Amino acid sequence: MVSIDNLTVSYRQHPALHHISGQFAAGSITAVIGPNGSGKSTLLKSIMGLLKTSGGRVTLGTPRERIAYLPQMTEIDRSFPMQVRDCVLLGCWSTVGVWGGVSTALLARADAAIHTVGLEGFEQRPVGSLSSGQFQRVLFARLLMQDADLILLDEPFNAMDSRTTAALLALTMQWHAQGRTVIAVLHDDAQVRQYFGQTVLLARELVAWGDTAQVLTEANLQRARALAEAWDDNADICHTDEPALPAATHPARHPHSEAAHRHDTAS
């Protein structure tokens, strides 16, 4: 469904993701875990094509309009005067577009989605009046509306109470049961072990990728913590997949620049 080939993304020349490769199989449910700053959100954003990559490529097995992406909560302006129903209806944006009409069938689907996430009676409420848990339910209703084959969730249960987490997790498992591919950034190890078959453990570099039981070992987690803490301002350039160059043109210490750090460009 998604294949990642030697992906590198850097912020100001420091890699946030460093030579990551792997595959998300169709129909799989994968947790992306790792310490703060280990590149989890960056991985999702690169899959969505929202970031400039400095090397490697992401290949999608499904058209763009069949992918749904839920970013971290903080990125949406909730003071915007918008009703819950309108916000959920945005989920059909990729099929309806700028000028398409919203049919009564779509309206009925939106109301059904609102019902599914347990927000019946909230249709006319402005999104600004909702609690953050209720708003996350609205965004899940929008995901239902999108009816996507591939669903990317960035810390979907952050700051949710246990009831909301349970409800939204149940929805996620339902998507998995329907054969959709799910990739979620998570922090709760117990939750990952119980519900997510596959796990990607990141620490800017790929620590492990595979069956959750094999990835979530104490040794791997320790390695991830150690890797994530290191950030060397004077780190040498990475030459991993570069042909050997004459030493004279490359002094020992120089920044990790894109020109020197040659990869196949995906963008």
- Which of the residues 109 through 148 are near another protein (CB under 8 A)? 126, 128, 146
Residue from 3, 13, 62, 83 in contact with another protein (CB under 8 A): 83
- In the sheet that holds 198-203, the strands lie side by side as 55-60, 2-11, 14-24, 205-211, 198-203, 29-33, 181-185, 150-154, 67-70
Residue from 25, 73, 82, 227 in contact with another protein (CB under 8 A): 82
Residue from 36, 77, 104, 248 in contact with another protein (CB under 8 A): 77
Near another protein by CB under 8 A, which window of 93-101, 166-174, 198-206, 258-266?
Answer: 93-101
Q: Give the nearest distance from C-beta 69 to another protein in angstroms.
A: 4
Spatial separation of the C-alpha atoms in residues 202 and 36, rounded to whole Å: 10
Which one, of 231, 253, 263, 185, lies nearest residue 19 by Cα?
263
Question: Is residue 13 close enough to count as binding another protein by CB under 8 A?
Answer: no
Which one, of 249, 256, 250, 251, lies nearest residue 235 by Cα?
256
Residue from 6, 28, 41, 94 in contact with another protein (CB under 8 A): 94
> Residue 207: is it exposed, middle or buried by C-beta count within 10 angstroms (0-12/13-18/19+)?
buried
Question: Is residue 99 close enough to count as binding another protein by CB under 8 A?
Answer: yes
Question: Is residue 62 close enough to count as binding another protein by CB under 8 A?
Answer: no
Nearer CB in complex with another protein: 26/48: 48
Question: Is residue 50 close enough to count as binding another protein by CB under 8 A?
Answer: yes
Half-sphere exposure of residue 204: CA atoms within 13 angstroms, side-chain side: 16
Nearer CB in complex with another protein: 59/128: 128
DSSP three-state, residue 124: coil
Question: Is residue 97 close enough to count as binding another protein by CB under 8 A?
Answer: yes
Instruction: Answer yes or no: are the C-beta atoms of 175 and 182 closer than 8 Å.
Output: yes
Q: Give the nearest distance from C-beta 219 to another protein in angstroms.
A: 36
Helices 132-146 + 104-116 axis angle, to 10: 140
Q: If binding means CB under 8 A, how many residues of this protein chain bind another protein?
A: 26
Q: Give the nearest distance from C-beta 139 to another protein in angstroms.
A: 9
Helix residue ranges, H only, 21-131: 40-47, 84-89, 93-96, 104-116
The binding site for another protein (CB under 8 A) comprises 48, 50, 64-65, 67-69, 71, 75-77, 80-83, 87, 90, 93-95, 97-99, 126, 128, 146
